[in-house]
Structure 1
Amino acid sequence: MKFEVLGKNGFNPTNAIKAYAQKRFEKVVSFFGPEVVDEIRVVCKVYKDHHKVEVNVFSGKTIVRAEVSDEDMYAAIDKANDKLVSQIRKHKDKLKNHLEKEGIKQAYSQEFDAEQLEKDILAAQLVKNKKIDLRPMTSEEAISAMELAGHDFYVFLDQDTKKTNVVYRRDDGDYAIIETQPI
């Protein structure tokens, strides 16, 4: 398993922070099983008034992600760990309950089932299917269209790359773009 702690915004994580993060995220690895987790990537960022920790756990085709902020870097790492553990427990409980309801007697393995997770999410939350016409535009035009529509995100066709992109408003008020690419 690969474990990586990176710094951004001019922050270089100390060996103490790296060791602390690795120790804290051992619990996440124990939920999956060490043979199942491919990589854990921790990105630490420092801003004027807070620290942000983004954690991605890669397990096969499944990615579990947490992003938290706090005034203290160590507290942000703790909160990110708690958030990941909560997400994994919730997913495991959901799968376990689903298996019990279906009358399946076999034991649940520790490996995440990405297809089952997708089915559970879609079954529980999909309430509307909407078709949209994509017109070529710049990211600035997409942001304007999103603001005019009053949405938190906007799907558009990038006029330069001719690929489908999504622009969205982040929690900090800035904007970000998700660029799609085939696998």
Structure 2
Amino acid sequence: MKINIRGKNKLEITPALRAYAEEKVGKLAGLFHPRHEITAHVLCKVYDSHHAVEVTIPTKHLILRAESEADTMYAAIDLVVDKLERQLKKYKSRINSIFKKREGISNYFSDQFNAQEEPKQDLKALVRNKEIELTKMSVDEAVLQMELLGHDFYLFLNEDNHKVTLIYQRNDGNYATIEVK
């Protein structure tokens, strides 16, 4: 597993912090089947009152992501790795099943990971399928419409670039968009 570590908010990554992050995040590599080349992107952020670590692991078939906050950077790293392990354990059967059907991959994860006890899952069902007519509007109008509906996201046709755009509210309260290529 390749591990890219960056600091944000004027945080300089010390050799000790780099070694700790590489050791902790690196143990996630053992969960994937060796045929997958994995790169983990670790973003360490420092704020006035806390530290935060975000880990994103893009693979050929899916993107894993988790973020944690703690009083120290080391504690935040521990928490984020634990979150990612829990995500993988929770979804590994579904991941293996989906990619076996689509790609013929019999096993997405390593034998070591598959031998572990799997928690019982209650699969959520798709309970509604809704068709909408995309309305051409500005980003500001889409934010207003989203807020009026009380939703966390809104899909619209961006009048500036004529692309299908999803706007959503981030955890920090700001807005972000995702556009279709």
For 1:63 and 1:17, locate their aligned partners in 2 and report how far apart those are by CA, in whole Å.
24
Query: Could you say if the C-alpha distance between residues 12 and 164 of structure 1 is closer, same or farther in structure 2, counting changes exceeding 3 Å?
Result: farther
Aligned-partner Cα distance in 1 for 2:51–2:137: 34
CA shift digits 1:102-127 (9 cap, x unpaired)? xxxxx84526xxxxxxxxxxx73321
By how many angstroms is 1:93 displaced?
Answer: 4.6
Instruction: Tell me the alpha carbon deviations over residues 20-71 of structure 1, each in whole angstroms, 9 at most, x when there is no partner.
Output: 1110012210000444133111112222322221111122222111122223
Q: In the alignment, what sits opposite 2:48?
A: 48
Report if the CA contact (8 A) 1:157-1:165 is conserved: yes
Q: Partner of 2:48: helix, strand, or coil?
A: coil
Q: Which runs of 5+ in 2 are unaligned?
A: 98-105, 111-122
Work out whether residues 135 and 157 of structure 2, in 8 Å CA contact, stay in contact via their aligned partners in 1.
Answer: yes
| Distance in 1 of aligned mates of 2:20 and 2:56 | 16
Which residue of structure 1 aligns with residue 138 of structure 2?
138
Q: Which moved more, 1:78-87 or 1:42-51?
A: 42-51
Asked if residue 178 in structure 1 is aligned to residue 181 in structure 2, the reply is no
Q: Report 1:19-58 matches (<5 A).
A: 19-58=19-58
Contact 1:143/1:167 (8 A) holds in 2: yes
TM (norm. structure 2) is 0.77
Instruction: Provide the residue aligned with 1:8 in structure 2.
Output: 8
2: distance between equivalents of 1:152 and 1:139? 14
Alignment-mate amino acid for residue 29 of structure 2: V
Q: Which residue of 2 aligns with 1:101?
A: none
Report Cα offsets for 1:135-182 as digits up to 9, x if no partner: 22222221111111111111122212211121111222222222332x
What is the 5 A alignment of 1:105-120?
Answer: 108=107, 110=109
Q: Secondary structure at the match of 1:124?
A: coil
Separation (CA, whole Å) in 1 of partners of 2:141 and 2:23 = 45
Q: Secondary structure at the match of 2:127?
A: coil
Structure 2 equivalent of residue 75 of structure 1:
75
Aligned in 2, Cα 1:168/1:76: closer, same or farther, shift over 3 Å? same
The yes-or-no answer on 1:128 pairing with 2:145 is no
Provide the TM-score with structure 1 as the length reference.
Answer: 0.77
CA drift at 1:92: 2.4
Instruction: Tell me, in whole angstroms, the C-alpha distance in 1 between the residues paired with 2:32 and 2:93.
Output: 14
What is the one-letter code of the residue matched to 2:134? L
Deviation at 1:85, TM superposition (A): 0.6
CA RMSD, Structure 1 to Structure 2 (Å): 2.3
* Paired positions, count: 161
Letter of the 1:173 partner, please give it: G
C-alpha contact (below 8 Å) 2:29/2:38 kept by paired residues: no
Alignment correspondent of 2:149: 149
Runs of 4 or more above 4 Å deviation: 93-96
Helix, strand or coil at the partner of 1:10? coil
Structure 1, gaps ≥5 residues long:
99-106, 112-122
For the pair 1:60 / 2:51, whether they are aligned, the reply is: no
